[in-house]
Structures are given as C-alpha cells and as structure tokens.
Amino acid sequence: MQNSHGASRARVVGNPCSELDIEEDCLVNYGFLPREHLALMHPREPKKKPWDAATRRKAGAVLAFVRERGEVHPREVEAHFAHGRMTNYWGGSSNAGTHLLDGMHYRGMLRVVRRDSGTRVYAEVNHAPPIDDSPSGRALRAAALLELIVRKYAPLPSGSLTYLVRLLDYGAPHLAAQTQAALRDAREVLGSCRVDGTTWYWPADENPRSRRHAPDDAVRLLAPFDPVVWDRRRFELLWGWRYKFEAYTPAPARQFGHYALPLLWHDRVIGWANVAARQGQLQPVFGYADRKPRDAAFRAALDDELQRMTTFLAPRSGVLPPA
C-alpha cells in the first residue's frame, strides 16, 4: 500500500507519476494500491455506523446518477440532490453529498477515476465476479491479506506485525476475526529469528542471506510512508535514530522539515531531504543523522537519484513547472 505517487516512484521504472495504473482505496491506511487487491476486501462491510434505510436509498439514487453521467464531481451531486450540510468528524460542517460519496467509495460502490485540484471525481465500479463468502472463502482472503502486508513490510518486528494486522480493520473490517486467526497461523510458518530480544518475521519462502537482497550502490529518496520507513519502530531498531513526519507540526518546532524524504544509501537510511522545484529546477536541502558521506560514489549516486526524481515529476515536456 502506498500513500502517494511519491511512495510508488522508487518501485515503478520508467513511468511518470501521471501514468501509474493504481486505485485509491484502503488497506492498512488510505492510499494507492493495485486493482487486483480490491477483490480481497470488497464488498466491504463497515463495523461502525451502518447505513439506515434512508441513507441506502440516497446511495442508490446517487449510484444511478453516476451511471447516467459516467463520471461525477461532488459539486454535480450536490447541485442535483441538494443533500445539504452535516457535522463532520472534526466538528465542522461539510457537504452531506460529499460524505455520502466517500461512504459509497469505501463500500466499493464507486471508484476514484481522477482528482480535479485535489477533489475526487467518481465513477461506478465494475468488480470481479462474486467472491466466495463462505467461512473458508473468508479465511482464504484474510490469509491472502496477511501475506500481502508481510511481503510489503517485512522484515517485521513482532509488535509491528501485530499492529499491521489490527490496521487491516480499516481495509477489511468484516474480516477482523479471520485476520486474527491468520496471524496466529502465520507466526507458526513465517521465517523468523530473535535478535536482541526482538522476534522478526518475513515470508517463509524468502532467504534473507540471498544475494538478491544484497544492497546496491544507489541512493534513494523515499516518501515518508514508503514501506521501507513507514514502521517507525523498525526504523529505530535498524538505523538507530528517530525520523518524524512533520508536515502537520508547527514550523518553529520542526526538526526535519515540512516534507522530509528519508535518504537511503546501501542498506541504511542516513538522513533526509526536503525538495522543492524553483525556476524549473529541483532545489534539495539535506540533513544527516550522523555526517554526510564524502566519497565520490555517494555524490554520483545522489545526482542520479535527483535526476530520476526530476524525470518522474516533470510533465511530458521534461521540464519541471516553476514553483
């Protein structure tokens, strides 16, 4: 699961950010994920605040409207249905129509086809054939979800594995009992070892000593929620310092910057960078947990990574827009 196109950048070769074939949805958090994973979670059945009959009728009417239009912006729904205002999660006021669209998306009735200035534009979903919703079918889907997060985030400290399975309640709340059972089974079959009092887990068919896991010479600027750095518990265990995402921290209190990208070199995260585009050029500002490497190989690898970021972020003209 990726929280942004930036998290996908390091894993998608040769594609600008506008060409990624991914869906907005929920797994352990909200973000982007491959479409084939949706069948493991849909139809999604929220455990809290089920819809009443009136809300289901409204959702049915909106779905018919979306089918007729093909794609809809929330303002079109509001103009047509005039659902009015409601109190949102933070105690403020928001459009009831937008809230209904969000709920329909979460339940798998709609998909996000694009964003217009950050606002989701919706279309109807065409899901795969009906899933096996028998007890054994649910157990298989829960096991597949657990395997998915282990392959994405491993190696995982025991506490982080437990936490990730709890977070699956967001993407698959209706499979909570099955994912807990899958976790109990997984602990018996996953690869594991105990280091300094912490038990680590990884997929059973992976060999951590394999040469394919050997670090290369590249520098990578990772998104703050990239699977390599998302688990802050693991981050500190592996690299011995604490990284924080500070976009919502008041500027005077920030240690790392507004949107600090962890800097991975070989098999260590050694620092971070805040990157802006000005006059069509990337303007990075770096910080280091210890000290900046002085050798030419690091400098060359860092230059290569900045060029990759420029290519990824630039439109087809190949030139970054001015800030």
For residue range 91-119, list pLDDT tens digits in order.
555 688 899 999 999 999 999 999 999 99
Cis peptide before 293 (omega within 30 of 0): no
C-alpha distance from residue 23 to each of 98, 126, 154 (Å) = 19, 13, 23
Separation CA 302–CA 218 (nearest Å): 8
Residue 1 has pLDDT above 70, yes or no: no
Separation CA 172–CA 25 (nearest Å): 11
Average pLDDT, the chain: 89
- Read off the pTM: 0.84
Residue 90 has pLDDT above 50, yes or no: no
Can you give the pLDDT at residue 311? Answer: 87
Can you give the pLDDT at residue 47? Answer: 82
Question: Are 139 and 146 spatial neighbours (Cβ–Cβ below 8 Å)?
Answer: no
Residue 15 has pLDDT above 80, yes or no: no
C-alpha distance from residue 320 to each of 276, 284, 285, 298, 311 (Å) = 10, 14, 18, 25, 9
Question: Are 277 and 320 spatial neighbours (Cβ–Cβ below 8 Å)?
Answer: yes
Q: Where are the domains of the chain?
A: 5-124, 135-202, 215-313
Separation CA 12–CA 171 (nearest Å): 24
Question: Are 304 and 219 spatial neighbours (Cβ–Cβ below 8 Å)?
Answer: yes
Separation CA 312–CA 162 (nearest Å): 35
